[in-house]
Amino acid sequence: MPETSLPVRHLFSMAVDADLKGAARIKGGPAGDRLIAGVHGGTVTGERINGTIIGPSGDWLYRYPDGSMHLDVRISIRTDDGTDILMEYQGKIADDGLPRSAPTFQTSTDGDYAWLNSVQAIGLGSFPEGKLVYEVYELL
């Protein structure tokens, strides 16, 4: 019988500052239209992780000829205690216009955040007050 809910634990909230006005726009390429936007900051707030989004970070968005949209994102996070974490995710823009993603992480294998290296997460995005915010959940 299929699951009706997923076993998850809230990992963090992430507010993203992306430069959509200054983004590169490639129209009519072989993979459809591309939007390449720099991510210049933001915050990560959670029970086990708190930090700031730093550069380099960016979003390579595809709009396929059928109109569907695909996310390809890399985010650099520096925790409040100075650890750097790479968050990578692919995802889709859902029919409701909100992003859905599947983040993974890379960080030092011998540090306080080594547990992140084996986490598969899901991210649910929204746009409160026009700003991109993700709620990121660890799949258990």
* Residue-level pLDDT at 3: 73
* Percent above pLDDT 90 for the chain: 82
Q: Find the radius of gyration of the CA atoms of the chain.
A: 15
Q: Average pLDDT of 117-139?
A: 96
pLDDT class of 107 with cuts at 50, 70, 90: very high
pLDDT class of 82 with cuts at 50, 70, 90: very high
Q: What does pTM read for this prediction?
A: 0.92
Under DSSP, the state recorded for 116 is G
pLDDT digits (tens, 9 = 90+) for 63-76: 988 889 999 999 99
pLDDT class of 93 with cuts at 50, 70, 90: very high
Long-range (24+ apart) CB contacts under 8 A made by 68-73 are: 68/92, 68/93, 69/93, 71/99, 71/101, 73/39, 73/101
pLDDT class of 96 with cuts at 50, 70, 90: very high
pLDDT exceeds cutoff 90 at 130? no
CA–CA separation, 89 and 55 (whole Å): 16
Structural domains of the chain ordered from first start: 8-139 (2.40.160.20)
pLDDT digits (tens, 9 = 90+) for 5-47: 899 999 999 999 988 888 999 999 888 899 999 999 999 999 9
